[in-house]
Amino acid sequence: MGKIDREDMLELTRRMTLRRNCFDRIAGAYLDKDGFVDGTFNRHFQRLSQKDRQTNLNIARTVPFAETNVRLKEYVFSEDERRPGSVWQLLMALKECELKNDAMLDTFYEVFGNRYRTAGDYAVYLFHGSYDVPLKAADKENLWESEEVYQFLICAVCPVSGDYEPGETECGFLFPAFKDRSSDIYRINVFAADEKSSQAQSLRKILF
């Protein structure tokens, strides 16, 4: 397990506002406490209403904005955890297709339904984003020349009530990790509101 640089996370969250939005797609599923899917969605982010964009930005920001190295921790995928058929391979494919492959998404929701443990109904939100990482001069001022396009997924898992109204995010992740202002496909940043909760333990069992 490595350390997350807080400045890297803050750099990302500054691109998660209505004016400076880095997301192009949101997908997800609503599941009951037994893991059965009640419904799914897959939308272009900019086609949401302004209210819905703000609601979903707040959900997505929960993960990178969490207290680094306390509620948001860095994990490394071992070589065995990157084998064919692994969740790592599925996450790589979802990133590459930019959440546009519903069959892959259904596979991801099925994995969640089989392994995630919680007391009530919940939603799995997936966001695809991209960020043109600007070069920085020696004095750390941005040069506004792109060094790399960082493409990433954020997953947030929230309890839902009523008409699928989301509560506070219980857990989630940022993949690939944003490390040293660059993409690291062998690492993932995992968020847990409560490290010892069954939800946090379930998520780790899904990923590793």
Burial class (CB in 10 A: 0-12, 13-18, 19+), 69: middle
pLDDT of amino acid 125? 98
pLDDT digits over 6-44, tens only? 999 999 999 999 999 999 999 999 999 999 999 999 999
pLDDT of amino acid 144? 57
Domain limits at 175? 6-32+39-147+159-207
Q: Is residue 126 part of a domain?
A: yes
How many distinct structural domains can be found in the chain? 1
pLDDT band at 1 (very low <50, low <70, confident <90, very high): confident
Three-class secondary structure of residue 196 per DSSP: coil
pTM of the full structure: 0.93
pLDDT digits over 36-75, tens only? 999 999 999 999 999 999 999 999 999 999 999 999 999 9
Q: Is residue 48 part of a domain?
A: yes
Amino acid occupying residue 138: A
Q: Is residue 190 part of a domain?
A: yes
149's CB contacts (< 8 A; 6+ apart) are: 130, 131, 132, 133
Q: Is residue 199 part of a domain?
A: yes
Q: Is residue 119 part of a domain?
A: yes
